[in-house]
Amino acid sequence: MRGYGAAKSARRRFGAMTTIGTFACCAAGLLAVSAPLSAHHSFSAEFDATRQIKVTGEVSELEWTNPHAWVHVRASEVCERRGSGNLRDTGSTEEWQCRTVDGDQPAEWGFELASPNGLMRQGWTRNSVKPGETVTVEGSRARDNSQNGNARTVTRADGVRLFAGSSQGTTP
C-alpha cells in the first residue's frame, strides 16, 4: 500500500500547485487589464475647453503611438481665446489674441490626437502630415499651462482639414 499513499500525496501536491498556478495567472491577467485603464484619462483632467488655442508652424514629428498619437509643431504663431464652458461647443464670440514666436527660439508645441486606429477611421495615414510641413492646429490648451494641447483639427498649408478625433466631444 505504500505506492497508493505516495500517489495520493502526489495528487494533493499537484492539486495545490494547480490552484496556486491558476490564482497567479488570474492575478497577472487582472493586473495586465487594469494597467491600461489606469493610464487613460478624461479630457477635462488634462485640458481646459474654455482655453482654445490655434498654433501655426512647422511639423517636427508625428508620433503614431497608443493610446494617443501626438503631433509636434515648431510654432511661428500662437493664438488663444476663451471659449464657452460647454465641452461640445467649439465656437466662441471672442476674437483670437495672436502673437508671433521669435524665429531664433521657436516654441515646440505638442498636440494630443486620437489613437492611431481612430485617426485611420478619420482618413489619416502615417503620412498625412510630414515633418517640415506647415500646419495650423486648433484645439484646447493644457490645464498646466505647458505647451501642450488636445487637437480638434489639423489644417495643412494646401487647405486640407484633418479632424483629429479629439476626446473633447465625447467626454462630459
pLDDT digits (tens, 9 = 90+) for 137-158: 999 999 999 999 999 999 999 9
Q: Quick one: 98 and 148 in the same domain?
A: yes
Q: Quick one: 59 and 21 in the same domain?
A: no
Of the chain, the end-to-end C-alpha distance in Å amounts to: 71
Find residue 156's DSSP bridge partners.
Answer: 135
Q: Quick one: 10 and 93 in the same domain?
A: no
Q: Quick one: 133 and 79 in the same domain?
A: yes
Given a cut of 80, is residue 77 above it in pLDDT?
Answer: yes
Q: Quick one: 33 and 100 in the same domain?
A: no
Q: Which residue has the cell 498636440?
A: 111
Q: Quick one: 21 and 47 in the same domain?
A: no
Q: Which three cell numbers stand for residue 42?
A: 478624461
Identity (one letter) of the amino acid at 78? V
Tell me the pLDDT tens digit for each residue of 7-58. Answer: 666 666 655 556 666 665 556 555 554 444 445 567 788 999 899 999 999 9
80: domain CATH number is 2.40.50
Q: Residue 33 sits in which domain range?
A: 1-39
Identity (one letter) of the amino acid at 91? G
Report the helix count and the strand count for the chain, using DSSP H and E: 3, 7
Residue 76 near residue 57 (C-beta atoms within 8 A): yes
By three-state DSSP, how is residue 58 classified?
Answer: strand
